[in-house]
Structure 1
Amino acid sequence: MISIDPYDISAPDESVRTETIQKPQPNSDPLEILESDRILDTSCVGHGKDKAVLFSGGDDSLALTHLAMEKGWADVVVHLATNSAIPENIDYVRRVAKEHCWPLIIISSPVELDTFSYRYGFPGAQEHTAAYHSFKGRQLAYLYRRRSGGVKFISGVRKLESDRRMKNISAEVQYSDATSGGNFTGWWVSPLIHKSDEWVHKYRRKHDLPRNPVAKQIHRSGDCQCLAYGNRSEELILIESEYPEFGEWLRNVEKRTQEYRGRIHILEDEFPDVASEVARLRKQTRPNPMKMTILKENFPGVYHDIISVSRDDAILRGQMEPTNYIGHGGMSSDDLQRLVASADQSQATLCETCGDGCSLSSSAVERQIERAEQAYNQTSAVQEELPGITKRDARPIETSQSESGEGDNTVQTTLL
């Protein structure tokens, strides 16, 4: 497996006190001959290996990979390890590659799931492109650079299979440009773009291709479990049922994310000016450090106050934001509202019993009211000159901020 050097942007240890559960690992060993990054270093023979078929482990990619290797369309099979795959998925990829003697490259993302979720929260449908860049796009870019821009990627994407995957695919052969909204820069070939589900099923049966056991259990490939399009009340529960150790790890990532981002939200609630300065300072270094790292280096007193917040209170604050739940992207607005409301109710219970969380909640609410009143006062003079606009029309909008410093897609309306 090729491991791209990870980004050195981890959060300070003391900012997340939830115990880390280690991610389950594949049971299979690397294929000594077939699985090697030396496959890329064959420039002495023509121009080397420059046509790669992407094999995720899903039904479509299985049919495509077999077809591409049988027809000679591809030189090498590439599996993009996302760092959030169900381990049995990689076991399956290796087993199939060994059975067919396919030269295989497995290349892992430099971004761990918790690194992404600490910075941005868990991805939803709108953040899928950012997630793709982090968990798959960087590997594609790495391979593209290794072959001096000549590599062509063969993908199993189909029009009938998923509209959301077709967002950046418009033709069987096209050039993708990351600077223009593409997932990466390079040639993208989609031979199955017009194929039907029936064609895929018939092809697998005709060639007796073994289906991925993970796909049988959870009804999709297990190569990435960021659940950007997932519904936690369905897919997360199914994963926990079929792969309990992996499900426990996902829940642990979620809990640690809620603690870390809960502290960020408390910083924004309690020290808004400091939070703004932290957001500004972190943009001066690339890759951008974590906000808590910048806070520790530049505002040690405030950092101490934020770190002093109990683990449970930090988690509770984190649970008040929808993006801090894995698998929120596929939930209905009503279900998501109920999920967040349960954390709000827990916070309210603490306040009623004079718990530690009371000051965190009340001071944050007070500041929101103050900001809403200020915004209202600033706009009231203009409203008086515009007939037909009433005071009830003046409702300032606040957008929740991500670790990246950019607004996420959760818009909260402050009611006066």
Structure 2
Amino acid sequence: MGRRYVSNLAEMLPGMPDAVAKQPVKAAAPPPARTLDQAIARSHDIIAEALDRYPIVARQALFSGGNDSAVLLHLVHSYLDSSPHDAVVHVNTGIGIEETRQHVRDVAGAWNLPLRELHPRDSYDDLVLGRVLARTGPNAGKRPVWKGFPGPGGDSHKVMYRRLKDEPLQRNRAAIIGGRGRREKVLYLAGMRWDESERRMRNAEEIDPEGGIIWCSPIVHFTNAQMAEYRRRFHLPRNPVAEHLHMSGECECGCFAKEGELDEIEFFYPKTAYRIRSLEKKAEAAGITACKWGQRPPGSRDTAKPGSIAGRLCSKCPSAGGQTDLLDLWAKQGLLTPAPACPPAPALPQVA
């Protein structure tokens, strides 16, 4: 979970103007203070601009299952009915928490939205165990593209992001438009925000073309306070995984796991922890040096450059590990009582 920027106006009354605390690097000017209604109107203007500028043949909303992405999905749901390819898209990395995947399915079903659940070609287990061989280049068919658990630093996160998230999205795009990228585009509506993390402040843009994909971030200008106000106004469902772990849990690759995170996961979601610990035993039995989830591989060092982009959909991965062990902290405070399950998603309300 990266550092978050909190506006000085975060405690204001609902409906009062709010602004992003800093000027994003890629923004032409500091975002103006806006009420929530004005922020919503700006979001629709951003989407309209993307649809006007590019030959869009499919509109797809990326839904991680997190509480922020629920705001994005609710705001853009009315755009997902122009073609048979329009849909809610969830990338099932294969190493996420099942309760989050079920939350995604429940929300899409309750809101009567078509859902595409994408899967990576190479599984997380095969990557960790070194079973995925290079398909191109001088090492094709000879050397694995990765071996062991990814830890903080270096190229581990790049490999995991590209294999587990980007590859399914690129394959999804290819299935829709094939080689017609210059003439036809897929619009990926994503929930990136400038107020979300330091990385987003550097790298997020309203509209960002990438070959046959047009990345669009309609809520990029939303502040934390506006997100909270939006959830309250429209009574959006909350993901219990995010309530427990303060992250969506759709990808637990361990690249930037904080200290004690696996114990934290085990307390709330023992099946996921058991699956990870079982893979640790397989890696150790195979003689793989990096056989511990969420730890820097022995002898490795952090070669990541400051300000490097970890991946469009990995907003809250920190730049370094070593955070406080929350499980120990909660135990000392007597807070280790699982929260009751969140209610199912309500029927889809309309945006004002």
TM-score range, shorter chain: 0.5 to 0.7
Structure-2 residue corresponding to 1:14: none
Equivalent AA in structure 2 for residue 133 of structure 1:
R
Structure-2 residue corresponding to 1:66: 74
Structure-2 residue corresponding to 1:211: 238
C-alpha displacement at 1:192, in angstroms?
1.8
Which of 187, 196, 200 lines up with 2:223 in the alignment? 196
Partner Cα separation in structure 2 for residue 256 and residue 131 of structure 1: 19
Partner Cα separation in structure 2 for residue 73 and residue 59 of structure 1: 23
Partner Cα separation in structure 1 for residue 266 and residue 287 of structure 2: 24
Partner Cα separation in structure 2 for residue 166 and residue 130 of structure 1: 23
C-alpha displacement at 1:86, in angstroms?
0.8
SS at match of 1:171: coil
Query: 2:118 touches 2:169 (CA, 8 Å); kept in 1?
Result: no
Relative to structure 1, the CA distance from residue 58 to residue 90 in structure 2 (aligned partners, 3 Å threshold; closer, same or farther) is same
Instruction: Note if 1:162 corresponds to 2:197.
Output: yes
C-alpha displacement at 1:158, in angstroms?
1.4
Partner Cα separation in structure 1 for residue 210 and residue 190 of structure 2: 13
Structure-1 residue corresponding to 2:209: 175
Which of 231, 245, 268 lines up with 1:242 in the alignment? 268
Instruction: Note if 1:225 corresponds to 2:233.
Output: no
Gaps of 5+ in 2: 1-54, 131-145, 302-352
Relative to structure 1, the CA distance from residue 64 to residue 125 in structure 2 (aligned partners, 3 Å threshold; closer, same or farther) is farther
SS at match of 2:129: helix
SS at match of 1:151: strand
Percent of aligned positions that are identical: 32
- Structure with the higher helix share, 1 or 2: 1
SS at match of 1:187: strand
Structure-1 residue corresponding to 2:118: 107
Structure-1 residue corresponding to 2:294: 327
Relative to structure 1, the CA distance from residue 204 to residue 195 in structure 2 (aligned partners, 3 Å threshold; closer, same or farther) is same
Q: Deviations over 1:74-131 (max 9, x none)?
A: 8311011100111111111111111111111111112221211123322234322211
Instruction: Note if 1:80 corresponds to 2:91.
Output: yes
C-alpha displacement at 1:211, in angstroms?
0.2
Query: 2:193 touches 2:204 (CA, 8 Å); kept in 1?
Result: no
Query: 2:100 touches 2:249 (CA, 8 Å); kept in 1?
Result: yes
Query: 2:100 touches 2:248 (CA, 8 Å); kept in 1?
Result: yes
Partner Cα separation in structure 2 for residue 230 and residue 399 of structure 1: 16
Q: Give the alignment's Cα RMSD to 1 decimal.
A: 2.5
Which of 53, 75, 79 lines up with 2:61 in the alignment? 53
Which of 160, 163, 173 lines up with 1:134 in the alignment? 163
Partner Cα separation in structure 2 for residue 227 and residue 216 of structure 1: 19
Partner Cα separation in structure 2 for residue 251 and residue 166 of structure 1: 35
Relative to structure 1, the CA distance from residue 163 to residue 250 in structure 2 (aligned partners, 3 Å threshold; closer, same or farther) is same
Partner Cα separation in structure 2 for residue 129 and residue 172 of structure 1: 23
Q: Deviations over 1:9-37 (max 9, x none)?
A: xxxxxxxxxxxxxxxxxxxxxxxxxxxxx
Query: 1:114 touches 1:257 (CA, 8 Å); kept in 2?
Result: no
Higher RCO, Cα 8 Å, sep 6+: 2
Query: 1:161 touches 1:197 (CA, 8 Å); kept in 2?
Result: yes
C-alpha displacement at 1:142, in angstroms?
1.1
Relative to structure 1, the CA distance from residue 131 to residue 166 in structure 2 (aligned partners, 3 Å threshold; closer, same or farther) is farther
Structure-2 residue corresponding to 1:95: 106
Query: 2:58 touches 2:186 (CA, 8 Å); kept in 1?
Result: yes
SS at match of 1:198: helix
Query: 2:90 touches 2:115 (CA, 8 Å); kept in 1?
Result: yes
Question: Map of 1:255-294 to 2, 5 A cutoff?
Answer: 255-262=281-288
Partner Cα separation in structure 2 for residue 189 and residue 73 of structure 1: 17
Equivalent AA in structure 2 for residue 204 of structure 1:
R
Partner Cα separation in structure 2 for residue 162 and residue 73 of structure 1: 32
Which stretches of structure 1, 4 residues or more, deviate above 6 A after TM superposition? Answer: none
SS at match of 2:286: helix
Partner Cα separation in structure 2 for residue 98 and residue 222 of structure 1: 20
Structure-1 residue corresponding to 2:310: none
C-alpha displacement at 1:145, in angstroms?
0.5
Partner Cα separation in structure 2 for residue 240 and residue 142 of structure 1: 33
Partner Cα separation in structure 1 for residue 300 and residue 223 of structure 2: 41
Equivalent AA in structure 1 for residue 109 of structure 2:
K
Equivalent AA in structure 1 for residue 241 of structure 2:
V
Partner Cα separation in structure 2 for residue 261 and residue 102 of structure 1: 46
Query: 1:49 touches 1:76 (CA, 8 Å); kept in 2?
Result: no
Structure-1 residue corresponding to 2:51: none
C-alpha displacement at 1:73, in angstroms?
8.9
Q: What TM-score do you get using the length of structure 2 for normalisation?
A: 0.57
Equivalent residues, number? 220
